[in-house]
Amino acid sequence: MRFLLKLLSGRLDKKAKQRNIDYRFMLVKSSGAQLAELTDLLTTNHVLPTIDQTFTFDQTQAALDYVASGHATGKVVITQ
């Protein structure tokens, strides 16, 4: 499995290295207990996501372009 992920992420690794960015993939198995724990962490402000930009649904293509540009420094949110 690790070999497959390494093979698939090669292009991202190269771009990240060029921009001096460190990232990691996490594989998770969905679990009701884990989701409940995550919900608790979020609702009690123990985990605060970094939101880079917010786009409306009509601006979805602009949001995707922004993410693809590699300049996002946090989550990109699409709202109704």
Q: At residue 5, what is the residue type?
A: L
Residue boundaries of the structural domains of the chain: 1-47, 49-80
Contact 70/12 with Cβ under 8 angstroms? no
Quote the CA–CA distance of 24 and 77 in Å, as a whole number.
21
Quote the CA–CA distance of 18 and 65 in Å, as a whole number.
19
The pTM of the full predicted model, rounded to 2 decimals, is 0.51
pLDDT for residue 30 = 81
pLDDT tens column, 40-69: 998 998 888 899 999 999 999 999 999 999
- 25: confidence class by pLDDT, cuts 50, 70, 90: low
pLDDT tens column, 10-24: 777 888 888 887 776
Quote the CA–CA distance of 60 and 66 in Å, as a whole number.
10
pLDDT for residue 60 = 94
